[in-house]
Structure 1
Amino acid sequence: MPLSYADFKHAADSNFKREFGVNHVTFDAMCTVLAANYQRVHQRRGRKSKLLIADKVTLMLRYYRKYNTFAELSFEFGISESTAHTIVTHTERALKNSGQFNLLDKKVLLDDEVELDILVVDATGTKIQRPKKTKSVLLGQTQMPHAQKPVNH
């Protein structure tokens, strides 16, 4: 079953904000801006979208909030990967051009005046617990315990 906004519509404000990064009021404002843009662009031509406006905003927010790939989003929403990419870019552009929302460009990172805080974590020295392999297992004389089939009594 594809994911939709209706699944989160009646969630508490704290849960909604945790899932999407915005509250209900901001989400509704995004939907209003996108609906006006959609009416203006598709007033005379074009095929009707498979997703509702709220689902498009949901898809975009999940992409930015959860860092899902377009392949994962396409599976969750029942659309193709390229359609998921198109929806995210069109939604982002419409919200940015409205002037009501401040979405930063990737080019901002290239600006020398922007001060960034960067945290680097080195996980290369972390020990990993692995099952010990004995000489007989390595030579293929016996199987590891986890590779054996369970016995039914």
Structure 2
Amino acid sequence: MQYEQTKKLSNREFKRLVGVQRRTFDEMVRIMRDTVKTKKTRGCPNKLDLEDQILICLQYWREYRTYFHIAQDWQVSESTVCRTVQRKRKCVG
């Protein structure tokens, strides 16, 4: 489920789906946006929005699904999911 679709969910449903409260998720996005602004980017732009990247990471960390299954749900390559999770892991800690 992409971020745009989660906007339709109630706060309770959002937490059930993602595992964190909506305001916690918004804070994560804000922190990641600040981090991304300070970095110089090269190469192709990301196929996924920052919100979607964070949703992918939360889905991986919460459900421990394989990169392959997550990639199928999001219609991206397995390596894209792997890179996304690895990059966010570095930022988180």
Give the TM-score taking structure 2 as reference length: 0.89
Alignment of 1:1-153 (within 5 A): 3-43=1-41, 45-96=42-93
- The structure with higher relative contact order (CA 8 Å, sep 6+) is 2
Question: Which amino acid is 1:68 matched to?
Answer: R
Give the TM-score taking structure 1 as reference length: 0.57
Larger radius of gyration: 1
> Structure 1: any 5+ residue segments left out of the alignment?
97-153
What per-residue deviation string (whole Å, max 9, x for no partner) do you get for residues 9-65 of structure 1? 23111111111110011001111111122222235x332100000000000011111
How large is the Cα RMSD of the aligned pairs? 1.4
Give % identity. Answer: 28
Query: Per residue, is there more helix in 1 or in 2?
Result: 2
> Structure 2: any 5+ residue segments left out of the alignment?
none
What CA distance in whole angstroms lies between the structure 1 residues aligned with 2:32 and 2:18?
Answer: 17
What CA distance in whole angstroms lies between the structure 1 residues aligned with 2:40 and 2:7?
Answer: 26
